[in-house]
Structure 1
Amino acid sequence: MGCVKSSNANNRRAVRIRRPRPWNHTEPITRAQLNAMRDEFWDTAPHYGGRREIWDALRAAAEAELRFAQAIIDSAGIIVQHPDLTLCYDERGARYELPLYVLSEPRNLIRNPN
């Protein structure tokens, strides 16, 4: 019987990331309100567990163009459970959940508030 070398990196299925499906906020929201929600999430997310560098990579990926986001995710060793990045894991098994509002804009975004 021979030995077979395996590792998590070799067994991991590469998942191509994509933008989340369109979504609606509970009420129309301005860009400033959306940005405030995002800032609050990113400021508090590391306090709920996981590693700071993974949270930073997830933020960079969420704010980048799709092709750059894929490179960021791959280079950080993030395991993508859902292709829209709403659920990811790091190599140690820590769970990272991202709400839709940090990944894309809502359908009911107020573009020109007066």
Structure 2
Amino acid sequence: MGCTGSSRAKGDESSKKIRRPKPWKHSQALTRTQLKQMRDEFWDTAPHYGGQKEIWDALRAATEADLTLAQAIVDSAGVIVQSADLTTCYDERGAKYELPKYVLSEPTNLIRDN
């Protein structure tokens, strides 16, 4: 790591501060139970999309934490954040991790369970 391009500088992408996703609307109204089921299905299958299971686990923990803790989780796992809302990230080996909006926040058209 003798060159300046290989060290973590203050402008490095991996140190990008994460933020809450922008409000979004699902194509149809969802109940909290349906949203939880969609999230569970995504996280159960996420490691099959490629990348490392440990990074997927860290991303899940980050999405379920407050912003300060999420930032610490992402930083300690070595996740390189391309999109500040965590929709697109990379690990240190260059594997891409894409997270759907529904695992990051609730839709604006979330309805009450019966």
Q: Same fold (TM over 0.5)?
A: yes
1:65 matches 2:76: no
d(CA) in 1 for partners of 2:42 and 2:98? 11
User: Offset of 1:10 from its aligned partner?
Assistant: 1.4
Give the aligned partner of residue 103 of structure 1: 104
Question: Structure 2 stretches of 5 or more lacking a match?
Answer: none
Q: What secondary structure sits across from 1:96 in the alignment?
A: strand
Q: How many residues align?
A: 111
The percentage of aligned residue pairs carrying the same residue is: 65
Q: Deviation of residue 48 (structure 1)?
A: 1.0
Aligned-residue offset at 1:5 = 3.8
- SS of residue matched to 1:33: helix
- 1:94 alignment partner in structure 2: 95
Equivalent AA in structure 2 for residue 96 of structure 1:
Y
Return closer, same or farther for 1:45/1:31 CA change in 2, 3 Å cut-off.
same
Runs of 4+, deviation exceeding 2 Å: 4-9
Change (3 A) 1:56 1:8: farther
Structure 1, unmatched stretches of 5+, are: none
State whether residues 87 and 98 of structure 2, in contact with CA within 8 Å, keep that contact through their aligned partners in structure 1: yes
The one-letter amino acid paired with 2:27 is T
- Residue in structure 1 matched with residue 34 of structure 2 by the alignment: 33
What's the RMSD between the two structures over aligned residues? 1.6
Going from structure 1 to structure 2, the CA distance change for 1:68 and 1:31 (only over 3 Å counts) comes to same
Opposite residue 43 of structure 2, the aligned amino acid is: W
